[in-house]
Structures are given as structure tokens and as C-alpha cells.
Amino acid sequence: MTTLVTGARGKVGSALIAFLHQAGAPVRAASAAPEKLDELDLPAGVGAVRCALNDPATFPAALSAVTSVFLYAEPSHIDAFLDEAAAAGVQHIVLLSSSSVRDRDAADNPIAASHLAVEQALAASPVETSVLQPGAFASNALQWRWALESAGVIDLPYPGSYSDPIHERDIAEAAFALFTQERLRGATYHLTGPESLTFTEQIAVLERAVGRTVPFNAVTREAWKESMAGYMPAAFADGLLNYWASTDGSPTPLTRTVEELTGHPARTFAEWAAENADAFRAAR
């Protein structure tokens, strides 16, 4: 009953591998660059395999003797992946999607649309699927560390935009529950953090954790998009900007799904900030 965990180098995937291994469940770590998995110090007995979701040639070996999969939402060859999964005898897939698919304009947002395409492909597949739709990852704030290191200040086009930062460990625990409790399988779960916070409120939380001021500037959409031109496609930048505009001054609706799946309240952004404070202290 081996579980293949794609994206094993990510914070969610690596935490899920640890949970499954600790529970005695056979698990295989999959990555587009498995040679870099050594950096994670995988638990003894956890094998690593190359699985690039944009390269169908890697699918057969990765899925061999696998019965369940933790899947990241990469749409480019999702049909080929699902065909190979069904042929290999996979019985259950847990998809890490996004709450952005719940928005009315999801089909027009390239970030949401890519997740939605994978959800739709899975819905048409014979393999049983459970879907996790988390909101904003708390670790998105690490992008601010890079801004502090390079420019000494964080640029915010919408300082008053709200989000629901969710700890990646909570997402991993929710996925673990779906793999280990059959009664939970086959449903879609909207995950949020326990608080709806503006970007400026999140920065204030970071300041308390770090013990110093974290400077930021309010900038125009155009200036922020230009500064990101070397890091993301223009369409994705527009998708983010439109989302932030839509949530500017509008608190994010919250759920208690993390608590319902894991048995404990969702971790706060302050907890995440305390765990990652050293990364920001070093960004001077």
C-alpha cells in the first residue's frame, strides 16, 4: 500500500512523508530532481524516484506498485498521469489544489485555471480523488525576506489586501488524515488558516517575532508588475494583482476544516512567524 508523494522537496510534501513514515505506512518520495532530496534527510527506508509532472516518461517507474498518490496541481500532462495511475492500480489520489478555484472568475485567472483544470481531469478519472483547497500558504511571506535582502524594503501594491495564511504543516496533516481515514475520502475540503489578516497586519506579526521593524512601501500595480517581470509571467502577475485587488479591504471567509480533519485548531501566522523568525533576522 505504497503512497507516492509528488513535490517531495516542498514543505507540505516533506512533512507528509514524515507523517506517513512515522505511522508505518510505506511511502515513496517523488521529485523532478530526486538527487536534491538528500538535502531533506529523508527517513530511513523512504525511497526516492524521479517524477516530473511535465514529463510523462517519468510516470511509469514512479507509479509502479503505488496504491495512493499525493499530487501537486500541474496540468500540462495530467491526463497522461491519470491514465498511467489507473493502469498501475492506484486507488486513491489526494490533490493539493487551491481555494482560488472557488472564485467566480477562476477560469479567467491563470493561477486558479491551472488548478481547476487538474480538478476537472481528476473528476473525470476512475481513480477516487480527495481534494484539498488551501488558501494562502504562510510561507508565501518568505518572498518578503528575499525583498528585504535585495532591496531592504517590501513593496506592496495592495497593503490592505486580506488573506488567510495557513501553516504548511496543517495542510500536510490534513492530507495525512485523508490517506489514513477511509471515511474522509472522496470529498473536497476548503482549508484556511485561523485568521484573516491584511498584508500590513502580517508584517506587524513578523515584526513582533523578529524584534525589529520590517519596512514596506505602498506601490502601484504597474511598478510591482515591472519589478516581477524577471520572476513570473505577466499573466500570472496580473492574476495575483487582480486577486489582491478583489480582497483589498475584504476579510477572507474562514473555515474550521483543519480542526475537523486533524483534531486541533489551525496554527496561527504568529506561530509560523516565530518558527521562521531567524530567516528574517538575517535579511538586513
Residue 177 has pLDDT above 70, yes or no: yes
The third-level CATH classification (topology) of the domain covering 2-134 is Rossmann fold (3.40.50)
Residue pair 1/67 in contact (Cβ under 8 Å)? The answer is yes
- Indicate whether 45 pLDDT > 90: no
- Listing DSSP states for 195-209 in one string gives --EEHHHHHHHHHHH
Return the minimum-mean-pLDDT range out of 185-189, 263-267, 279-283.
279-283
- Write down the pLDDT at residue 35: 81
Whether the per-residue pLDDT at 104 is higher than 90: the answer is: no
194 membership: H or E segment, kind and range:
none
pTM of the model as a whole: 0.95
- Given a contact cutoff of 8 angstroms between Cβ atoms, the answer to whether 54 and 78 are in contact is no
Chain centre distance of CA 217:
27
Gap between the Cα atoms of 139 and 92, Å rounded: 28
- Measured CA to CA, the distance from residue 238 to residue 258 in angstroms comes to 30
- The CATH 3.90.25.10 domain(s) of the chain lie at 139-163+195-252+268-281
The residue whose grid cell reads 513578523 is: 206
Nearest residue to 25 via CA among 33, 35, 34, 16: 16
d(CA 265, CA 261): 10
pLDDT per residue as tens digits for the range 23-43 = 999 999 999 988 887 666 788
Are 12 and 172 contacting, i.e. CB atoms less than 8 angstroms apart? yes
- Residue range(s) in the chain whose domain bears CATH number 3.40.50.720: 2-134
Task: Please state the rounded mean pLDDT for residues 171-195.
Answer: 98
pLDDT at 284: 61
Name which CATH class applies to 139-163+195-252+268-281.
Answer: alpha beta
Distance CA 43, CA 56 (A): 27
Contact in structure between 113 and 106 (CB atoms under 8 Å):
yes
